[in-house]
Structure 1
Amino acid sequence: MPLTFDLDPETTPGLLDSIRTLWVDVSNAGGAVGFVPPVTTEDVRPELIKHLTAMAEGRTRLLVGRDETGAAAATAFFTLNTHRLMRHWCWLYSVMVHPSHQGKGYGRELMAAVEDAARGMDGVQGIRLTCRGGTGVDRFYASCGYKEVGRVPGAIKVADDDFRDDITMWLPLN
């Protein structure tokens, strides 16, 4: 069953709990979304609060994909640029699909919904994201039309002896 996507949903306590759970489950399954496992909801809470604060200030927008139960099964956060020379593109952060839903095409559905949402944002002509090297997710983004435009070797430290590349990818919308 396909996901139902909602841009800028009402941030109810139930939705926030669902997003926190999603973030924890994705992180603990090895997803590269800002943490290294093991992760708890208390670890995720401050990062979610940062996103919510930016949403309240109008700098960030949330796209949620809900499964048949109404739970957040996928998310992506858009951060709008405030710099006058960069308002024509947005950043994409915290792109997640719940591990129980992976392999069902939901990642592609999410990225198509991301592109549709960004096309509807006033003046946005491109999407920029970064991802952690060594996970293969850069190949997934490339298959969705994103191009690698930069790489910083060893910029992400996931353990004392494990450094990963920080890969920047770009999707033009024009």
Structure 2
Amino acid sequence: MALTFELAPAFSPALRDGITALWADVTNAGGAVGFVPPVTAEEIRPELLKHLVAIEQGRARLLVGRDEEGAVVATAFLVLNDHRLMKHWLWLYTVMVHPRLQGRGYGRDLMAAAADAARSLDGIEAIRLTCRGGIGADRFYAACGYKEVGRVPDAIRAAPGDDRDEVVMLLPLGPAAPAPSSGPATP
């Protein structure tokens, strides 16, 4: 099964509900996407609304991955910088792949689609993200080409007595990789 990625899809109640359900499923499976389990869709909706306002204001783009049935199974939000000296890079937030699909390479596919989406935006030269330390997310992002550029010790309190580092990672964007050749080159 291959996922289909779309940047800036038309928004609908079904898409909203799909993202909300994905976010709850990822969190409740232990994913570090701004909440700790257990979480309900109602708890997630206000945070999703913040992303949607940024999209409406032109400050963010939604990248959605869908399975063969059209269900939302992956997301990432590309958020542009407002600061006049930092407009050459963007933030990547709320990177999620449904737990039932994890471990099959879809996370790498999502990260590649996010890099391609960022390259399609004028003037973007890099992607920056943060992740929660201690769960292996930094190793995953490093395997996708990101470099650790900073770490804030104990910045994230997952629970009383469970403080985690906030890891800052950066991916400089070069040109997109060429598509693989489908046959021998012709002179």
Q: Distance in 2 between matches of 1:46 and 1:116?
A: 28
Q: Distance in 2 between matches of 1:70 and 1:99?
A: 17
2:153 equivalent to 1:153: yes
Which residue matches 1:53?
53
Q: How many residues align?
A: 174
Which residue matches 2:32?
32
Q: Distance in 1 between matches of 2:20 and 2:49?
A: 10
Q: State the shift of 1:115 in Å.
A: 0.6
TM-score normalized with structure 1 length:
0.99
| Deviation per residue, 1:57-106 (Å, 9 max, x gap) | 00010000001111110000011011110000000000000001111110
Which residue matches 1:110?
110
| Deviation per residue, 1:129-153 (Å, 9 max, x gap) | 0000011010000000000000000
Aligned CA-pair RMSD: 0.5
5+ residue gaps, structure 1: none
Q: State the shift of 1:4 in Å.
A: 0.2
Which residue matches 1:129?
129
5+ residue gaps, structure 2: 175-187
Q: Distance in 1 between matches of 2:11 and 2:134?
A: 33
Q: Distance in 2 between matches of 1:161 and 1:81?
A: 33
Counterpart of 2:63 in 1: which secondary structure?
strand
Q: Distance in 1 between matches of 2:84 and 2:100?
A: 41
Which structure has the greater CA radius of gyration? 2
Q: Distance in 1 between matches of 2:32 and 2:67?
A: 22
